[in-house]
Structure 1
Amino acid sequence: MDCWTLLELPDDADERSIKRSYAKRLKTTRPDEDAEGFQRLREAYERALQLARWREEETDDCSPEPVASALPADNLQAWSGLVEMSPSLAPMPTVAVAPPPAQALLKGLTLENLPQRWPEAQAQQCAQDFQNLLLEHCCNHPEQRAPLVEWAVQHLEWLTPWQSLSMSDAQQRSLVGALLGYYRQTLKDQLQANQERAFLAQLTHYSEQLWLQIFDHRLQWQSTVLMLLNEQQWSVPLFERVCQVFGWDEQRGAIPEPAWVWQHLVQRCQQETFYQDLQNKLQQEHSWAPEVLAAQLLAKPLSPRQQRNLTRGFTQNEWQACQELAQTLTWRFPQLIERLPQSDVFYWRKFMPQPSTIEETWVRTWAGIGLAFTLFFIQERQDPPLLAAAMAAFCGWLAAVLGLLALTAWNALALRLLDLDLWLSERLIPKALRRPPDPRLLRHGVPFLALMALFASLLGLLGMLAYLGFTLIGALHHKRVDHVSETFRLKHPWLSVLHWSNFSPWQSVFLLLMVGVIRACQVFYPAFPLTRLIPG
């Protein structure tokens, strides 16, 4: 189907007829309802305009030049005689030529008197000349261009296919750019003044204008609004209403261009929605939901004592809610951290009970104390190694059980001293030793000193140094032996306890070295204070 059949026009239709036919069919073939039909209509319209302009150019090139009719010879002679015989004529006086009516109406034109000048141009039968001169005036006076063009698109149907004047592509781009810039500035002022209701009303009014129903103009207008929203602050309901005005819907694939700006706005919308939900949870002071308590811990200004009181009754559910909220803020909405009272969203970890499994702690403590008792019995009682190991196993088991009972009581007491513990830990523990789980001076320092005193009483100064060095290597050296697989842990729980997971490889080397040094000193130099604290 050719362009003339689709537009229902004859082959010799002029440019004005083509534009009127296109505008008539544009009302029934909308781009958002029938994209393929609109594309065919648009191609037919552009092809018909091209053919009409070619036909007009060929007609102008082939028009004959006007030729003066030859005068008769006798008339020439009569005229020549008259010229020779007549005296010299006096010069004619100069008469001022009045300007055309349209030009006179355009003199001193402003936006205030334009509504009165246009009816006068129609009454004086110079409406078309007035529009042409108005177009030229808009192009030559940028300071008046935007408001004059806005009036023209509303009353004279400028920038639409059914406008009555012809304008070049450069003129059309200039007028469209000026008008969109004028609209953008108006909407920007309303956003900066936080007048969102007026912004939506003005945006709806602009978007319903006829010239913005043209597909190309509407795309340019949507991109302008999209960039404006990317630069300004707004609320989530406002963004949702703007999407309704333009029909933006990511699920249906109706998203504006540029796509990266749209994705950024969607991210901002999700961020503001998340922050508003966070603020709503802060108002629920009598709720004990884990999500509400986590929001209050991270987003509410609290003193250290209030933080400790809030986390005192936390269970695994509350700590998990804090972890999820902190991770969401860190990875999805990092810009929201600037609005929170705490820049470190993981600060609450210092209030958590230290993660440890009773089984692993008990068995490893038993193994360490049993090794010390073994070396002690070999030196003091001169027992055979097997007998010393058996006695050491029993004594180590008893010491480990009593030590864990004492540690449980101490942990309960340390919670009451948490404020003092945190204050001392921040000031006395070096930063090099502060690695997860965060060490605390009182809670971890007192059991550490108790174990170091036990090893010193059994093996003297070397036993104390062995325990101290083993612990410091684990704190300073970050490389660890791989974890035991979960399948192996379930099938062989006792063997998994004895595995060196979470230990540094240098710890095993140091331990073997110190055992050899201690045994050598017991054999060759069994004196105070290397292997015993009591002289004799």
Structure 2
Amino acid sequence: MSCWTLLGLPPTVDTRTIKRHYARLLKQTRPDEDPQGFQQLREAYEQALDQAHWLSSEDDLETPPQTTAADDWPALQQQPQQSPAQRVAPLLEGIRIDQLDQRHQQAIDTDCLLEFELGLLRHCVERPKQSVQLLAWAFATFHWLSAWQRLELPDYLLEALLQGCRQALEQPLFEALQQQDGAAFVQHYAQRSQHVWLNSLDQRQWFNQRLVVLLLDSPYWLTEVFEAVCACQGWQAGDDNACPALEWERLLARHEAPQFIARQQALAAEPLATAEQRAAYLLLAPISFSRRRAFARRLRSDDWASCRQLSSRLHANHPEVSAGMPGGTAFFWRDWEFAFDAWPMYLGIIIASLVGAFARYAPQASSLEEIIGVALFWSACFAAFAALLWWLWQPLAHRLWARDQQLSSRLPHWLDRQCDVLILQDLLPAVLLGAVLGYFCGAVSGATYLLVLLGISIGRRRELKVRAPWEQADPWQRRLLIGLGCMVLVAALSAIKLASNYGTVTANQGLQQWSERLCARMPIDASECAVPATVEQWYGKEDGR
């Protein structure tokens, strides 16, 4: 079947007739209803245009030039030919909505319809606020942004028009969500039928996706907005859901946010027997930032996994709750997961061992090096014992957290307020290790260990500075502390060296003994060493001297 048969036109028609007839056929063959027929019609249209252009060029070559009589030349000079752009300029000047039909017909009569449409398109793109009514008329007349629009229109102007139309549709919806005005959103959403360019399948899909993004990115959730959009967009549970699956789950999670937050707050108020309850307590319990940090020191790997899961859900689906957390983020605890929280135990062991060594060996006139050596040896032994105790006891105490809370509630109120201790996790291991230190190193050593832990616990109760975990602290503070620590260490080593040099000399220290002589090893009543003994007898001459 030839292109002319498919179009229903004779092969002798011009390009203008082909385009008009093609526009009428497009109204009968829509691409969304009959895509195969539309494709055949499109191919026939392009072939007919090519043949018409080819026949037109041949006619121009075969037609002999016509001569003009000399008498007619002045008349031709008086009637100069105008280009289509020149003919359409008066039609576009000061154009109004009530003049569009008349000027449109004038453009058709003067054979400058393409230039008229192009000028009107450029006017609407450059002056969008003054062209609302003109644009509505042009959409109905020229079918812009549809499958029936003119092919000769520049792509950059059509793209600019599409972006402007999308922004005009989306901006009121975005502002209504920012102002938490659900009624305004529903009102603007109901006016979407006035945007005839949305009749295209591609544009409807774009609008559906933009609605999903607007609702998910909004910090405020409006139930009436979600229900209205679901009813009109076909968002529903099931296989025929028009909303993408992943986005639909997130939308449902935000829709059920009040119930979810209420459940998590209820978990935070219950005894902390499970990892989910401990994660809810760390993130949602109404406690201070310092108390959160103290609580986080007791968490283990399963607790941190629950914290990551809960924080991710709060960050994605409940931005208003995350904004009210420390640092304005649900991941304020991120640096705490890998922090070394057992250092007070090892610091207390070192100080207690040093105090115990001084208390035991200083009265015996032992040197400073000996006392420090003993303290280091004790510290290594007790640190190994403490690490083993921590590795064996903490998992058991962690599983008994709920029981531990019940027992710890009987402690004096001032102790819980100042130190925030639990009997099984904190108090019992500390007392056991202090008793071991007191048994082997003396009572003063055990008491020192407990006092160090008590002082660190009280010091930790100070209010910490709230900041996001990814904010960098001032580097000069850390460098200053490192420098001071190095200076203190150098000063301490120098003091130990000086003290050892000027210490009391014991019986086995000092100068070496004199060489043993003959009479020094003989009995006092030996005849050869009787008084007066000669010098040679006591101090014989050295060999070779």
Q: TM-score, normalised by structure 2?
A: 0.46
Q: TM-score, normalised by structure 1?
A: 0.46
Considering Cα pairs closer than 8 Å and 6+ residues apart, tell me whether 1 or 2 has the greater RCO. 2
